[in-house]
């Protein structure tokens, strides 16, 4: 009588689970790689953690002189709207020696903002520093 066929090899293990089919594994890897690239591109485009759409929505939803909490770059800020412009309370330690700086106008998504005094008037720190030296 012929010998019985050899027993199948034990199931391969992959991270504690049965190994995926080779073709399916490549499809899963391709999908994960694509999702990673999409996420990476989005993070690069929105590094300031604010999108143009988000800025427009804040303009539309926030009422005049209304206060709210704004969270960006792992930091909470007070946000208000005055004369149709959005302002963040300037709490960055970089402004601690700038006595006139109270508000930061939020009108761009890249973090390039204008500094303002307590009456929401623009402050030119370069001109202020130059006059202090003179």
Q: With bands split at pLDDT 50, 70 and 90, how would you rate the model's confidence at 39? A: confident
Q: Are residues 123 and 64 in the same domain?
A: yes
Domain membership of residue 19 as a residue range: 13-45
pLDDT 10s digits, 76-125: 999 999 999 999 999 988 888 899 999 999 998 877 789 999 999 999 87
Is the per-residue pLDDT at 17 higher than 90? Answer: no
| pLDDT mean across residues, the chain | 81
Q: Are residues 22 and 64 in the same domain?
A: no
Q: Are residues 38 and 56 in the same domain?
A: no
CA 36, 37, 38, 42 torsion-angle sign:
positive
Q: Are residues 61 and 39 in the same domain?
A: no
Q: Are residues 63 and 97 in the same domain?
A: yes
Q: Indicate the number of domains in the chain.
A: 2
Query: 124: exposed, middle or buried (C-beta count within 10 Å: 0-12, 13-18, 19+)?
Result: exposed
Q: Are residues 39 and 64 in the same domain?
A: no
Query: 123: exposed, middle or buried (C-beta count within 10 Å: 0-12, 13-18, 19+)?
Result: middle
Decide: helix, strand or coil at residue 40: helix
Element holding 76 (H helix, E strand):
strand 75-82
Q: Could you give the angle at the alpha carbon of 96 between the alpha carbons of 95 and 100, nearest 5°?
A: 70
Q: Is 128 contained in some domain? A: yes
Q: Are residues 71 and 34 in the same domain?
A: no
Q: Are residues 90 and 128 in the same domain?
A: yes
């Amino acid at each position: 009588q012929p010998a019985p066929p050899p027993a199948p090899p034990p199931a391969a293990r992959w991270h504690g689970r049965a190994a995926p089919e080779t073709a399916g594994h490549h499809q899963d890897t391709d999908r994960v790689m694509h999702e990673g690239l999409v996420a990476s591109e989005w993070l690069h485009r929105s590094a300031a953690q604010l999108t143009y759409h988000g800025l427009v929505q804040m303009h539309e939803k926030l009422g005049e002189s209304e206060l709210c909490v704004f969270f960006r770059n792992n930091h909470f800020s007070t946000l208000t709207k005055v004369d149709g412009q959005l302002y963040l309370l300037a709490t960055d330690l970089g402004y601690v020696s700038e006595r006139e700086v109270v508000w930061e106008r939020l009108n761009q998504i890249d973090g390039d903002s204008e500094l303002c005094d307590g009456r929401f008037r623009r402050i030119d720190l370069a001109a202020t520093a130059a006059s202090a030296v003179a």
